[in-house]
Amino acid sequence: MGTERRRIILATIGVFILLSAIFVISADNSFKRDSAHTLAQAELNAKVYTGELERDFEQGIAIAKAVEEVVISGHGQIPRFQTVAENLMEDYIGSIQIAPGGVVTDIYPMEGNEGGLIDLIHDPSRGPVVAYGIEHDAVTMQGPFDLKQGGSGIAVRDPVFLTDLSGNRSFWGFTIVIIKAPDIFRHTFESLESFGYDYMLSTTISPISDEYRVVAASRDALDQYV
């Protein structure tokens, strides 16, 4: 695994505590007769599905990085952004955005997402996280939160830097992917439920915050949490 890939994954995992709690509550009485086996199996499944959740996040990051490569190859220009973004869309993605200078100027799809055309750097809730991403040259995730363009999502922001002929790097802006939450995790949660497990997925709302927020939970686990 390359240094760049490790940096991205570490930045991502730094934001998301992927399985802050998995409540193993089985309706099957046979599990209760062998608690040691139940615990061992639950721990194994937790590791497997934690890996799946990490891969889910990596998919969103990969789309943001793909748009970054287009920006770099175009020396800061994406004349056919809508076409590029359309070809990268997945069903778990709410939108793909570009923000030159930290200001969102184009979104795919635009219809219904016009509220996302904002100045990220000077936005009270987004500005500090955006500044963190620029300072550390790191992909950041923020959310889940109610998006200005409607719905709930997690913002993946990839800071883009351009290098001139003299080797000097300058900040260009951000490529952004809005992940639908909890849609992207649905297949993982369905698998956990098929094992008879209750689950809860929580996260810090940004890499600069200690505040936790529940992304998704099964009904019984949520009842216990509340």
pTM here is 0.72
pLDDT tens digits along 166-210:
999 999 999 999 998 766 667 666 776 676 777 676 666 667 777
Compute the Cα dihedral for 125, 131, 134, 136 and give only its sign: negative
> For the chain, give me the number of helices (H) and strands (E)?
7, 7
Please enumerate, as own/partner, the contacts of 210-213 that have beta carbons within 8 Å and a separation of 24 or more. Answer: 212/17, 212/20, 213/144
Q: With b meaning 16 or more CB within 10 Å and e meaning fewer, what string describes 97-127?
A: bbbbebebebbbeeeebeebbbebbeeeebe
Range of the domain at 99: 3-225
pLDDT category at 91 given cuts 50, 70, 90 is confident
Structural domains counted in the chain? 1
**pLDDT value of residue 26:** 45
Three-state DSSP state, 162: strand
CATH number for 190: 3.30.450.20
